[in-house]
Structure 1
Amino acid sequence: MRISRTRTTAVAAVAGVSLIALSACSSDDSSDANDTAEATDAATSDTTGTTDGEFPATVDTKFGEITVEAAPERVVALGWGDSETALALGVQPVGASDWLGFGGDGVGPWADGLYDASPEIIDANEPSYEAIAALEPDLILDTKGSGDQERYDRLSEIAPTIGVPEGGESWLTSSEDQVEMISEALGMEDAGDQLLDDLDAKFEAAAEAHPEWDDMTMTAATRYSEGWGAYLEGDARFDFLEELGFDQNPEVEKLGEDVDSFFVSISSEQLDLLDAGVIVAFPIGIETTEITEDAVWKAIPAVADGHSVVVDGDLSSAYSLGSTLSTAYALDELVPMLEDATK
């Protein structure tokens, strides 16, 4: 089954750029990266950033049909997860944004070693258009972001730019759309399909191995400096758990009916609304102990009964990022934790 990524409409202020940019801040914890060779075997490009697909290639976006006339040789990847998607296809961007503050090449440990030469790191929220132009790109990827028209216009003056898809504004580009758009632009549609098929197979295997998760309720929760919240359909964290067979907590689902967002805020006084068959939570910009040592959190029945998982560090980043590489890593790490929490 192909991963379903339902899009919703404009995001509420509380779940805007600040939440996205901080949604998986790294802690001091780290994990060894899994072998990424399998994820890139399907790619048909060499390691210089060029591709051998059929051109011209046309990609549908919110800003119209974008035509890439020839195989790109210098790619700049600016959107959330765009650089990892290109790397999974065997293409190494010359410039990229480091949304989660990984440092180094701007990618998580699951993508370590996929660059031969480090990219120029471009500020995620306020990119330097002069710095981008200096890299002389022949393709710019900006498939997951706000869908801002002015940003797109300035980027497209530099090089053909693959912006968000129709309906993908406010960070709601699906992981599937991201892979499909980038693989189309790179002339590597078959390789993109293979990446998605391989990830679908991993989800299916995990779900089939755990029939007890089918129809069990879940809450994808977070705590940040301003309070608590939970994710809704269309967010990578929600979709991750849904693909494993879990159903949305009905109380959170009700809250979501009144917002045009992928996120709902929940006050400490209403924290029992998070209660579900299993809760997966992570901190944003705060210490993990502000969740695990919170008395109200610990009083939630699911938490008190051991049916909760709190993730941080690299796993939190992988769970939130939604690239094929990071999601495969998150599956390997999080599934055993969910097994323990749902016994």
Structure 2
Amino acid sequence: MVSISRGAFLKAAAAATAAVALAGCSTGSSDDAGADSGSGSGSTADSGAFPVTLTSPFGETVIDAEPSTVVGIGWINAEIALSLGVVPAGSGRVGWGENAEGSTDWFDAELANLGGEQPVRYSETDGVNYEEIAKLSPDVILAVFGTMDQETFDKLSEIAPVVTYSEDFSSGWTVPWQDATRIIGTALGRSGEADTVVADAERAISDGAGEHPQLEGATFIASALSVTDAEPSISLYVTGDGRADFLTALGMTMAPVVTENLPTDGSFYLEWSNERASELQSDMLYSWIDAPEDAETIREDSVLSLIPAVANDAAVLDPDKPHSLAMGYSALGVTWLVQESDFLDRVSDAVDAGKR
């Protein structure tokens, strides 16, 4: 198992090898199960929403009219568009933890609800796939969440208006899903729908947490633990990372050992010294892992076994990749995680073990 940063993880999750059949962009609402992909029928854009100007660290983006063909860089931006009732014409392929469609189950469920077809899923193994995006002749390119720089912004802007994160954020990797949803909602003329989607997803998280009262106030560490041929490694996620933010949204509290050692450069994670493994005190610890057998490797490792939550069987060492994909990146994902998976049960069991 190899430890990677959030940026590397999400870029890996966007990588793939093939695209699927071309689909248009439906603008039907989530209640329009029969919306025709690409027809532009059933529009629910807010009255007076266009033209709209969005500002970013890379310049202004002007969208004159409601977009009818929407594409996303990576897979999260397209997923957010779908949560607003807009079926994207193109999206980066999910290349880590993906289903048979190069997608996610919650994306596909909402797609079926809208009566849409799978977007073209282009490979992003080598970075932004300008050629495949240009083939789709988009009206707007969504790139709020993920990597962006001036050169990429300018090159994409030659194809279509580019919507990225605002100057309120240091990078596209630290934009909370709520803010990303509202930015994309503004770009698509659906600010009202964005507010509703955010509120509904936050309510789902709150309801899920309410069914697991032991989570309230419990301390957590969100991490990436790994054991390689060389030596074990410990990475800790902090506020601004979806995993840490999601656990906080459940009413949990980031462990003091993490909050007292936050990175000073605004990063969303920090590397932790192996010599200080025993200092990582918390009621529970979460770490994604590549394979089930990695859990036992971590528990038996002479360094990682010194982490109190690992020693006390209070660690969720999770090989379920969809959990990682869903945790804190879109309203569709977080709702699926709390309503359709056993993730909260596993976290609750870990908290119970850690408090014994």
Smaller-chain TM-score bracket: 0.7 to 0.9
Query: Greater CA deviation, 308-317 or 45-54?
Result: 45-54
How many aligned residue pairs are there? 316
1:172 alignment partner AA: T
CA distance in 2, matches of 1:83, 1:307: 35
Look up the match of 1:318.
325
Alignment of 1:176-325 (within 5 A): 176-224=178-226, 227-283=233-289, 288-289=294-295, 290-320=297-327, 322-325=329-332
Q: Is the CA contact (8 Å cut-off) linking 1:230 and 1:264 kept in structure 2?
A: yes
- CA shift for structure 1 position 210: 3.7
TM-score by length of 1: 0.81
Q: Does 1:77 align with 2:78?
A: no
RMSD over equivalenced CA pairs, Å: 2.9
Corresponding position of 1:9 = none
For 1:24 and 1:160, the matched residues in 2 are separated by 21
Mapped contact 2:234–2:273 kept (Cα < 8 A): yes
Counterpart for residue 11 of structure 2: 21
The 1:292–1:76 alpha-carbon spacing in structure 2 relative to 1, beyond 3 Å, is farther
Gaps of 5+ in 1: 1-13, 26-39
Q: Which residue is equivalent to 2:140?
A: 139
- Of residues 52-61 and 70-79 in structure 1, the stretch that sits farther from structure 2 once superposed is 52-61
- Shift of the alpha carbon at 1:221? 0.9
- Return the index of the structure with the highest Cα Rg: 2
Q: Which has the higher contact order (CA 8 A, sep 6+)?
A: 1
TM (norm. structure 2) is 0.79
Supply the AA of the counterpart residue of 2:108.
D
Q: Who is 1:37 aligned against?
A: none
In structure 1, what is the Cα distance between the partners aligned to 2:217 and 2:93?
36
Which residues of structure 2 form unaligned runs of 5+? 16-28
CA distance in 1, matches of 2:224, 2:13: 9
Between 228-237 and 113-122, the greater mean CA deviation after superposition: 113-122
Partner Cα separation in structure 2 for residue 163 and residue 307 of structure 1: 39
Find the counterpart in structure 1 of residue 124 from structure 2: 123
For 2:181 and 2:157, the matched residues in 1 are separated by: 20
The SS at the match of 1:85 is helix
- For 2:89, the aligned partner's letter is V
> One-letter code of the match for 2:102?
G
Counterpart position of 2:344: 335
Runs of 4+ that moved beyond 6 A: 42-45
Q: What's the CA shift string for 1:123-159, capped at 9, x where partnerless?
A: 1652232222121111111111223110000001110
- Kindly provide the amino acid, as one letter, of the partner of residue 336 in structure 1: D
> What SS does structure 2 have at the residue aligned with 1:144?
coil
List per-residue Cα deviations over 1:227-267 (Å, max 9, x = no partner).
22110011110010111111111112222144431101123
Q: Is the 8 Å Cα contact of residues 69 and 89 (structure 2) preserved in structure 1? A: yes
| 1:137-182 residue CA offsets vs partner (Å, 9 max, x unmatched) | 1111111122311000000111011022212415112211210111
